[in-house]
Every structure is written in C-alpha cells, then in structure tokens.
Structure 1
Amino acid sequence: MTEVVDLAELAATAGLEQELDRLAKSQGIIRTRQLNQQETWTVLGAALTRELLSDPRLSNDVHTHAPHGALVPGMAVMLLEQDDPGHARNRRLVSAAFASRAVRQLEPRIVEITRQLLDGLGERGTADFIEEFTYPMPLEVICELLGVPAEDRDPFRKWAMDISAAPSVEAMQAAAVELFSYCIGLIGAKRERPTEDLLSELIVARFDDGSALSDAELSSFAAVLLIAGHDTVTNLLANALHDLLAHPEQLAALRRDPALVGAAVEEALRFRGSAMTTVNRVAREDIEAGGVTIRKGELVRFLLNAANRDTEVRADPHSFDIGRATAQHVAFGMGPHFCLGQRLARQEATIALTEILQRFSTLELAVPADEVRWLPSDAIRGLVELPLRYAR
C-alpha cells in the first residue's frame, strides 16, 4: 500500500524541505492528504515538475472533471481552474490589464504603505512582524490594486484572514462565498463610477469579438487575487526575513551591497517559497509518470518547494546563498498557468526588504530559533508568527 503523507503535519516542522528531499530521492511522486482529507498525487522532482506542469493530459478544470478537487466547489474560478482555449483567451485580457497604467503607477503607493507600517512599529523594540507588517502590507496593496474603498477594508481583511487561516474547509468556503458576494457589489459600483484601478480596467476591457468578462468572472478574479496575492506575499516576506536572520553572513552581505536585494528575493523564493503547492489538477487519462500510474480522474498537484530543492538542479540546494548564480526556480509555477502576479510579488518583496534594512540597523529574532513555529498547511509555507527585535 502506498504511504500517504500528511503534508500539513509535515509543514509544521522546520525540517520540511529536508524531509521532502529524502522522499524525492526515492519517489518522484508521492500520495499526500489535503486539508479536506482527500488524497492526491503530489509531484516532487524538478524534471518531472517541469514536464507535467505543461502536460495537456492534466486539466485545471476540476469543476468539470473532478468537482471534489475544486478550491470552492460550485464556483468556477477564473484562470486558476480553466483550460485552454478559454484560459488563454481570458489570460490575454487580464495580462493586458496587469500592464495598465493603474498597475505600473502602483510602486510609489507600495513604498508609502511600507513606510507607514514601519512607522507604526515605533520605538517599541520588539514586534511580531507578521501581525504588524507582512500581513497588512500586501493586503493594503491588493486593496489599492482592486480599488477597494477605505471604509470596506476591515471586512476585506477579515475575509482574507478567514480564508488563509480557516480551521476547516467549510469555514474557508463560507468566507469565500462572502468575499465573492462583496466583489459582485464592488463591480456594480465600479461600472457606475470607474476609478484608476485594475478592476475598473477589467470591467471596460473587451475581447477581439467585443465581448467582456461577466460579473461572475470578474468577481472570481478579484477574489483569487486577494487569496493568492495576499497570502503568498505575506509569507514570502516573513520567510525571507527569517532566512536572512538565520544566515547572518547573508544578511551582512545584503547590508553591504543593497543592490543584491533582487537576488535575495529570488533566493528566498527558491529556498522557501510561500506557495508550497499548486492548485489541484485532474488527469484526463491514465498517465505513467515517476514510476506510478495516475488514473483518469485522480487529482495531481505539484510541490514547488521540493522541486526548488532538487539536488539534480543544484548541488547545494539546502544552503541559502543570495550570491548564487542565477538559477531557474518554479516558485511561480511554469507553463500556461505561470503566476500572473509574479512581477507585483517581486516588487513588493524588493521594496519591503529595502525599506526594512534601511530603517533598522539591528534586526534579530526575539525568541530562540527552535521556538519559531511553522504553519500546519498543505498549501502555504509560512510561519505562525515572526517575533523580531529591532533598533534604528
């Protein structure tokens, strides 16, 4: 009988990546248990990940082929859970909106949000950087990007928290339903009074045939942008800070040469990416891969953190080195569903690290390293909290 790994239980440990490396050396694909207790094939190795992420025999349209594997059953989620040609058609429209002036001019606002949050830390000397900074920072950026009114941001924050830290699938789905409903109302308001934001851009965007995205598709996009764009950046920032502090020689190198911040972000993505796994895909037919047979209708996902620590790709995958020669990673996936928000995530991380290191001459963990707690999640790699001691 094939062993079934409880990924959330494993992720609650600091040694997750080393254990995945051990598993990957004997098995290219393993069976894992998800939050809702359903089992799925999970791909570990880099070569197999790159091969299968672009394999048309794996469908993202779980709503049609395996409804039990959907993020939110009963709701078609645009782009993440679509196949071509519909996916390609919608992606072109959304890609154009991501290149709009509303997105290009967001950088000064990201800097402003970052500085305001760091100002809020004051002179206390210690703080949980997740609660005080890495959680609110990307959430405010997403709200700016979508044009969420200031008076609506408190419930928006609550839905984000309920979705990212839900104790059960049912609680997550309930919060998602409320979020989808709110987004429908927001879209209606922007149809009447458009503003300079991504959602307004998408409302007026048109396909070649003159048609537009439906309210349901727009709402799906807005909700997924919040869920995917907020949680992943929150934990990317926290993981990057944690790993820089755990490797003081790397932090010192970055302080000496701030131009290395881009390389530091890329190494943080490779070393301990926050988007640990992809969304579920479903096999359209039987597939022989990694020494196993994936049967038609079975769920498949990709453990990106395992692929990025593959010894066949780099000889020292468990070392954190911001000066490492540029090497491809799959922290944002690859193939047709390569993350559309990757540029924004990199931008947020680069600004955040730059501002933090300029602001604080001293930055260190406020608890012993072995007391740092990791999230018991089967999808997100992150910390429960990040208590830091800091000084100007």
Structure 2
Amino acid sequence: MVESAAADSIELVDEDFYTDPHRYYDRWRARGPVHRVQLVSGSQVWVIVGYTEGRAALADPRLRKNAADLYELFRQRNVRTLSDSNAQTLAAHMLNSDPPEHTRLRKLVSRAFLPRRVATLRPRIEEITAALLDDMAAHDEIDLMQVFANPLPVTVICELLGVPFDERADFQEWTRILVSSGGTIEERAAATLGMSEYLRKLMVDKRAHPGDDLLSELVQPTPDGDRLDEQELVAMAFLLLVAGHETTVNLIGNGTHALLRNRPQWDALRADPTAIPAAIEEFLRHDGPVGWTTLRYTHEPVQIAGIDIPAGEFIYVALSAANRDPARFDSGATLDIAANATGHLAFGHGIHFCVGAPLARLEADIAFKSLLTRFPDLTLADPAFEPSWQHSLLIRGMSELPVRPHG
C-alpha cells in the first residue's frame, strides 16, 4: 500500500536538493502525498507534497505554530538549533502563533496591507521602478537580481516601515543567514544578535521620533487600547522586514528567469500587457519564492492521506511541490502564462495567508510591465546560464541573474 510505504520509510534529502527540489518531489509524489523526511541536518520531519493534502493542512487547527511550544519540542527531541533569548524573540511573531494571539497580532497590521491602501503606493513604486530601469539602460550587461529585483522591493518595504535604506546591507546579510538551511550555529547566533539589537534600537527611535510609517504606527496604542510589548514589536518588525522584501525579490527574479527561458511567452506578454496579472499568478505557481512553509507541529495525533502521525511531530507543507501537483494543475512543471493558476498556494492558505500578498502582487505587476516595455529585447547574458540557488528550504531564489538589457 502507498500509505504503509510512506509511513514506514524515510526519504533522505541531500545537498543537491536545493539545485533541483522537483526531482525529489516527483519521486515522493509517485509514492504518496505525505512522507517522513530526513533533512541534511539529520532532523526528521513530515513533508506534505500533495496539493489537496497541503491545502487542508494549512487550515488544520490541529497543526500548531506557537513558537514557545516549538522550542520546547526542539528541546525534547534534541534538535540542535539556536534557542537563546534573541532567537526566541525574533521567532515570536504572528506567523509563529495560534489563535487567539495570532488573531490579535494580525489585526494590528492587516489594515496597512488592505488592497485599497496598498493601491495608493502605485505612483511611488512606479517612480522607484523607473529610476532603477534608467540605471539599467546605461549598461550592456547587468545582474538583474542586484540592480532591479532586489532594490525595488527593499526600497518599498524600507519606506513603508520607516527603515533607513542605507542600512539594508546589514539586515539583508542577517536575513540571508537566518533563512538559510545551512550555516553554523555561531553564524546564526551572530546574525540573530545583529538583527535583534538593530530592531530594538530602531523601535526605541520610533517611540522617541515617530514618523509617517508603519513601525511608528505599531509603537502607538490602538483606539481600543491594545499595544505591542517590546518583544512583540521586535518580532513583528522582523517578520515585516524580512517577508516584505525577500519573497518579492525572488518572485521578480524567478519569474523573469522563467520568461527568458520561454521566449514565446515573453513575447506574448509584450504583445498583451493586460495578461501580466494572470502571468504573475503562474510565476507564483510554477516557481514561487517560498519553497516550504514555516514549521508546524501536531498538537494531537492526526491522519493525513491515510497515514497516522503522532502528536509532537514536525510538519512542513512543500508549497513548490503542491503547486506542481498534476492532480490539481494541468501545467505541472511547464510554465504556461495562459493557464489558470487560481488556487495556487504560494501565499499560503487559511489564517496564515500572507498579509502582504496585495503589496507583492502590485510590485510584481509594476516590475514586469515596466521591464517588458523598457527592455523588450532583454536576454540572458549566457544562454547556457544555470542558476545558483539559495540553500534554503524556506526561500526559493537565485543568487544572481546576469542579463543583457538591450539583447
């Protein structure tokens, strides 16, 4: 039986996983939608690769995310992880919380990301985009990640949150280490300390000198008297800063790379820019910026796809795998901007659906429309280019994307 084979065996993840995770997903999917997996670190977790099962798991209240409980499970299971006070502070954000605490935290920030409010940012995002493309135009060859895909969302999130843009090098380097699946405990400790100290100082400054930005809003009490304490402020700032730029960077990068590998679809979007919003959904489905969800654990025994999973087990949903499940999406591994990608899980599902999705979609819409219009002959600098992918289970992104703006 598929169920017993998946339940009784352990799938192994090696270093080559990051280069081509779909080679693993295809093999796992052929044997069932859920598997026990041993990571490179040696930790054993459950990974869901089926769309139907993954979507259900994302909304299952029996799969919890509370950070304090996760750290206790790490201790019980002898999982080697950074667990000092700084690490636990950064982890105690709304993405790692359950109702009612999650409900309270999300309410405090969700108003800033309502579609109508996000839409007011369009003129400024267009201005930032135009300036970046002006700089690109002066060069025969550039790294698109470095000069466009990265600075666009970083500039936007810095302005939205009230974070100095000239300090981006530090927080982006800390982010790179913290979202990585590799690195030493010492490197992660240094990055955690740097990030937490930086954000604490930033929030102190926001209290003393509030501005017209989201972090300044968050340090103030709400009309009903609720307010975030210091730990909650640091954790919220961490989540908004990291999630607010890292995912959109890679949505733009991965989507551009996919189009340049599929020239007829690049040309089709040039001919019909009105198709770009639907194409963005296909980019998210085909090679979205988030590979796996953040960690969940079973609060009680659960059964998924006929497999009994005990309480206290770690569970991930492989969003990249679910979004290519041929049982749900006919395109599967093929990029098809004309396909209906509605229902993809790139932004999650359920109560933890990405609060910043409207902003990411707006930035991507402006980025792709502007790029296709300004540089219709954009090509890969080397037709044989193969990306170097981040060594991260969470993030799916390239380190560079060398292109020729003028063909």
TM-score, normalised by the number of residues in structure 1? 0.91
Q: What residue number does 1:135 align with?
A: 150
1:293 to 308, 314, 337: 308
Distance 1:149 1:211 in 2: 27
2:62 to 45, 57, 69: 57
Distance change >3 Å, CA 361–CA 245, structure 1 → 2: same
- TM-superposition CA deviations, 1:123-177 (whole Å, max 9, x none): 3211111122212222222211110134534433443344356851522343133
Identity of aligned residues (%): 37
Report the more deviating stretch, 304-313 or 67-76.
67-76
Q: What residue number does 2:289 align with?
A: 274
Is structure 2 residue 16 aligned with structure 1 residue 2?
A: no
Q: What residue number does 2:343 align with?
A: 328
Distance 2:31 2:115 in 1: 46
Distance change >3 Å, CA 318–CA 102, structure 1 → 2: closer
Distance 2:162 2:111 in 1: 18
Q: What residue number does 1:74 align with?
A: 88
Distance 1:389 1:121 in 2: 9
Distance 2:233 2:42 in 1: 30
C-alpha RMSD of the superposition: 2.4
Distance change >3 Å, CA 159–CA 239, structure 1 → 2: same
2:326 to 298, 311, 336: 311
Q: Give structure 2 stretches of 5+ with no counterpart.
A: 1-7
Aligned AA for 1:28?
Answer: P
- Deviation (angstroms), 1:272: 0.6
Distance change >3 Å, CA 167–CA 21, structure 1 → 2: closer
Distance 2:344 2:192 in 1: 30
Report the more deviating stretch, 342-351 or 109-118.
109-118
Report the more deviating stretch, 322-331 or 71-80.
71-80
Contact 2:137–2:405 (8 Å) recurs in 1: no
Q: What residue number does 1:31 align with?
A: 36
- TM-superposition CA deviations, 1:230-271 (whole Å, max 9, x none): 221111111100111111111111000011110111100011
1:175 to 187, 191, 197: 191
Contact 1:7–1:32 (8 Å) recurs in 2: no
Aligned AA for 2:356?
Answer: G
Distance 1:256 1:176 in 2: 46
Q: What residue number does 2:48 align with?
A: 43
Is structure 2 residue 371 aligned with structure 1 residue 366?
A: no
SS in 2 for 1:314: coil
Distance change >3 Å, CA 24–CA 190, structure 1 → 2: same
Distance 2:240 2:212 in 1: 17
Distance change >3 Å, CA 362–CA 275, structure 1 → 2: same
Counting only pairs closer than 5 Å after superposition, residues 159-198 of structure 1 correspond to structure 2 as 159-164=174-179, 167-168=182-183, 170=185, 171-198=187-214
- TM-superposition CA deviations, 1:303-330 (whole Å, max 9, x none): 0011111111122322211111352111
Aligned AA for 2:236?
Answer: F
TM-score, normalised by the number of residues in structure 2? 0.88
SS in 2 for 1:204: coil
Q: What residue number does 2:124 align with?
A: 109
Aligned length: 389
